[in-house]
Amino acid sequence: MRTAMARRISPLAWVVSAVAVLFTLTLGVSIGAVSLAPLTVWSEISSNLFGTISSANSSESTIVWQLRLPRVLLAFVVGSMLASAGCAYQGTFRNPLADPYLLGVSAGAGLGATIAIFNGSGSSKILLPLAAFAGALGAVLLTYSLGRSAIAGRSSTALILAGVAVASLLTAIQTLIQQQNTDKIREIYAWVLGRLSTSGWNDLAIITPYILVCIVVLLRYRRVLDVFAVGDEEALTMGLPVAKARAAIIVAASLGTAAAVAVTGLIGFVGIIVPHILRLIVGNSYRILLPLSIIYGGVFLVLADILARTILAPQEISIGVVTALLGAPFFLFVLGSSKNGSVT
């Protein structure tokens, strides 16, 4: 008799992933206006973590520890969150087009940020993220309450449609505010396009706890996401409390996305591209897809940030522009060259 195991990540995939993470993190910290040797980078990191002697001089030390490492780690954490949120939404809504901004997070955050900028808080490192976070969360709550009451919570389509409606409404309000304050459109635009320039470790320290909790929650639902694949009706008869499970997944994915958006603005495509490229390689089981989305979402955004910093150096391109400009064609290429082209 053949014995099969439940789906899990192969040892080889773990090794490849570990190498990919170490490589991109090292690359991210090494590359920039001043190139640093990987050895210098790790020696400086080790000296800060373990008190070993660093081979870096004082300016190199500042570049590694105060400028690049927090930025690279922020990119990694945000990429992980966006990719895993996208992956989780795709699973629970059984919709391969679902992205982390599905339920109005982006429009809500945009409106919150716009209001903050027009109130003169645009330069505040605390008020702007807070306003964006509140906006994102408010939008998701609005979407959820509208979607649930629409058909008594029995159809996830109602929720997605409510998300579209809420996003349109909030975007309209945002546009209205912008048109009356045209002088600040540039500032808004910079925020909307997303950026990873940070104030050292602060941003990272603020959002990492939220994101970590959300990612751990999503990870624990990886088997449940596979159960969702047979549809709500059959999942229910198999004993899955469908509404409860979906609510928990939505809360975790939305909260994490809101936290990420609050600090970095809107970074598109990560939540769609990363899970889908992984699907083409490792198949559709969320037991594998979700953990790998966390890992490669981070890797992807670190790489995208390297490009954003270097293509037009010393000028920096918005990270959201890079993910869209490079991500979309790359995605189409992978899709076209995959054997069956199926992504669902």
Q: Does 224 bind another protein (CB under 8 A)?
A: yes
Q: Does 148 bind another protein (CB under 8 A)?
A: no
Region of 77-85, 127-135, 179-187, 219-227 interacting with another protein (CB under 8 A): 219-227
Spatial CB neighbours of 263, under 8 Å, sequence gap ≥ 6: 74, 78, 129, 198, 203, 206, 207
Q: Identify how many contiguous H helices and E strands the chain contains and give both numbers.
A: 15, 0
Q: Does 119 bind another protein (CB under 8 A)?
A: no
Q: In terms of CB distance, is 123 or 344 closer to another protein?
A: 344
Q: How far is the CB of 6 from another protein (least distance, A)?
A: 5
Region of 122-130, 188-196, 232-240, 327-335 interacting with another protein (CB under 8 A): 232-240
Which of 41, 78, 132, 227 contacts another protein by CB under 8 A? 227
Spatial CB neighbours of 274, under 8 Å, sequence gap ≥ 6: 79, 82, 83, 86, 87, 293, 296, 297, 300
Q: What are phi and psi of 336, to 5 degrees?
A: -70, -35
Site for another protein in 267-306 (CB under 8 A): 279, 283-285, 287
Q: How far is the CB of 291 from another protein (least distance, A)?
A: 12
Nearest to 105 by CA among 319, 212, 257, 277: 257
Distance of alpha carbon 204 from alpha carbon 77, whole angstroms: 8
Distance of alpha carbon 156 from alpha carbon 217, whole angstroms: 21
Q: Does 158 bind another protein (CB under 8 A)?
A: no
Q: Does 6 bind another protein (CB under 8 A)?
A: yes
Distance of alpha carbon 135 from alpha carbon 111, whole angstroms: 6
Q: How far is the CB of 4 from another protein (least distance, A)?
A: 4
C-alpha 110, offset from chain centre = 16
Other beta carbons within 10 Å of 151: 13
Q: In terms of CB distance, is 54 or 284 closer to another protein?
A: 284
AA identity, residue 183: D
Q: Does 1 bind another protein (CB under 8 A)?
A: yes
Which of 11, 239, 314, 336 contacts another protein by CB under 8 A? 239
Spatial CB neighbours of 171, under 8 Å, sequence gap ≥ 6: 107, 110, 111
Which of 13, 115, 164, 230 contacts another protein by CB under 8 A? 230
The two three-digit tokens of residue 187, written as one number: 């500032």
**Size of site (CB under 8 A) for another protein:** 34
Distance of alpha carbon 189 from alpha carbon 176, whole angstroms: 15
AA identity, residue 80: S
Q: Does 229 bind another protein (CB under 8 A)?
A: yes
Q: In terms of CB distance, is 38 or 283 closer to another protein?
A: 283
Other beta carbons within 10 Å of 8: 12
Which of 67, 245, 251, 335 contacts another protein by CB under 8 A? 245
Q: How far is the CB of 102 from another protein (least distance, A)?
A: 20
Q: How far is the CB of 87 from another protein (least distance, A)?
A: 14
Distance of alpha carbon 34 from alpha carbon 342, whole angstroms: 43
Nearest to 193 by CA among 82, 100, 301, 321: 321
Q: Does 342 bind another protein (CB under 8 A)?
A: yes
**CB 118, CB 184: distance < 8 Å:** yes
Q: In terms of CB distance, is 11 or 239 closer to another protein?
A: 239
Q: Does 181 bind another protein (CB under 8 A)?
A: no
Q: In terms of CB distance, is 3 or 315 closer to another protein?
A: 3
Q: In terms of CB distance, is 230 or 321 closer to another protein?
A: 230
Which of 226, 261, 271, 304 contacts another protein by CB under 8 A? 226
Q: Which residues bind another protein (CB under 8 A)?
A: 1-7, 220-221, 223-224, 226-227, 229-231, 233-242, 245, 279, 283-285, 287, 342, 344
